[in-house]
Structure 1
Amino acid sequence: MNATASLRRIGLPRLFLHLSVLLICLLWLIPTAGILVTSFREAGQITASGWWTALTGAAETSAARLADPSTAKQEGSNYVISGSVFEEGKSGTVRAFGTRVAAPTEYDAGEAADIGDGETLVVNADGTYTYTKNAPFGDGRGKRVYLSIAQPPTFTLDNYRTVLTSQGIGQSFVNSLTVAVPATIIPILIAAFAAYALSWMEFPGRALIIALVVGLIVVPLQMALIPLLSMYNEIGNLFGLPSRSYAGIWLAHSAFGMPLAIYLLRNYIAGLPREIIESARVDGASDFEIFVKIILPLSFPALASFSIFQFLWTWNDLLVAMVFLGTGKDQLVLTGALNALLGSMGGKWEILTASAFITIIVPIIVFFALQRYLVRGLLAGSVKGG
């Protein structure tokens, strides 16, 4: 009865909304959790089982060869070969075994396998075996058997050591930070000044500039990339600047991010109470003082919202980085280095997952640090504007 009353109080539409949000969060979280767990596993365990078995262990299929027929001993009317399927100094738990490569788990550990021709094989869980035949064994090598061996869950940091030291990801990580941090701060500083001017300062052509900013938001990056590169090269030749530099990519990202930044910040700043601005002007404050001491502190949610978008865009960018920064080993950003790893190490999932998690860890930290301001900053100013 209480459960029914609680359900009515919550309401079915609201309950459905909560369940839908929870499902979406799980769908986003599960792949990330899989990348994280896989990045700490060894190559053999990744091949043998999925990441969801990491805490319970995995079964690895391998092959072993029994002792030579010359070691057989006669016991009554039978001839017996015995020993262990594990090499000296190694151990494990055998779950199943087989005598054919097509059926490596045909028999359970401890089960007597009737091979035919009077031959019987028993492989125990500890790896010991008894191979029996009712006639002498022929000459040749020992019989090959296939084993399903239970491996205990093990985790390692070697994947990250390999990636950060020998694969060049460490330098690419620094390159991405060098690109993303200034390319996020520069457009925010410029756009904040422009947004204040378009919100609270009267001057001719203000409405036209606002319309132009809104129109520039929809300009595709690919359409403006080549003209922007040509312009940068001409200016670089004029002033003796290098054709590939961080300054170029900072300016490119700032140019592409500026329209959205001005639009978001202008909506927010225009929605601030007019009384605060007018009171400051009556007290003799200049526009610069109003901007620094009043507008910037009150606009932090909007600044944080755009910071998330701009940082994620610049951090995950590949095209602009390759055009303005280059493709040299010391110039590659993380996305470029990871793309190169996909070609050279397509089968080494432990290296790829460690590289991928290094790539996404910084955006995750930035998002969760600023996410509480995201919705507030985006929705502010949507009802009324200056």
Structure 2
Amino acid sequence: MEYVILAVVIAVVAIGAIAGLVVSGRRRQQLPPKSQAPVITAPKPTPQEPQVGEEAAPPTEAPRRTVEEVQLPEAEAPAEAEATGVEVVEAAEAAPAIEVPEPTAGRLVRLRSRLSRSQNSLGKGLLSLLSREHLDEDTWEEIEETLLTADVGVAPTQELVERLRTRVKVLGTRTPDELRALLREELVELVGKDSDRAVRSTKHEEGPAVVLVVGVNGVGKTTTTGKLARVLVADGRTVVLGAADTFRAAAADQLQTWGERVGARTVRGPEGGDPASIAFDAVKEGIAEGADTVLIDTAGRLHTKTGLMDELGKVKRVVEKHGPVDEVLLVLDATTGQNGLIQARVFAEVVDITGIVLTKLDGTAKGGIVVAVQRELGVPVKLIGLGEGADDLAPFEPGAFVDALIGD
């Protein structure tokens, strides 16, 4: 009896085990393969979505792309360029369009109205005095005072008054037209009609013409250098700029902006760097490019500072290792009058001044400084500034200048 009961128990256990195996097998068929981890995604109406019955199929890997095949968004392109060492220039910082400067021929004539407004006291005052019926000693003293007030200078004033006295006596009767013609002739003679006022900017065998621009602080030297570049480009020259003013903040940036406007390259160095080294490199660059002219803007110097003036001499000596310096242009503020003559003397002792640029001549009635500074240095005024516009720097023409003084 005990054997029968034991046999029944064993049979029941065997049947239960077989049933469990069947159920477990069915569950395995319904579960996804262990190698395919469950992923919860939003439904996508694409053909690649698994269809009914695919769960039991062998797992298939979706196609994968390498890092090189993945296209990065456009916003990240600058970072990629930096990694390759390529300089990235933002669109907003693109170089400005190259301008075509106004022709220099007759530019002073076009700017004549600006000059005449500030110089009427000289020309019109002289004409008024000479038109008096009786030219007594008091009148001649007034004429002399008018000339001195306009900063013509003592010696040139005395010479002009003596010549006018003689010619008026010979002339006898004096019509307004005769007086005007007489005064014009004498003033043109006083200013100097035979001087060579051309800026030497033509390339020669040694290389490009080298022009140093010098002056004290505040006369508009860097701006004048930029405007001079426009004058030369307008006359068909190719120009390289040297930013040797390393002591004034943003001077190099200012000069570079002027150069970019006319397509002229600017050679510059670190702030506070050696000006002579930058000047040397600028001439070297001009030679390599085959440029016609190299313009070098030097640091503004107080004429009372001996060390800074000596450094200016060093700049000139270093540049001359490449070849001769063709021009040394001294920039003077016409509104400073006789103080400008003191500056001129000191600069002339350090470097050989070859020409003068008078700025702000439209803002002063002291047009006689043109005569005085030429007499002081023995060199001509070559350019004059008559406004703040880019093309308001004009080659100096004695006839047009005197016509502006005395009017029509």
TM over 0.5: same fold? no
TM-score (norm 2): 0.22
Structure number with higher helix proportion: 1
Please report the TM-score for the alignment, with normalisation by the length of structure 1: 0.23
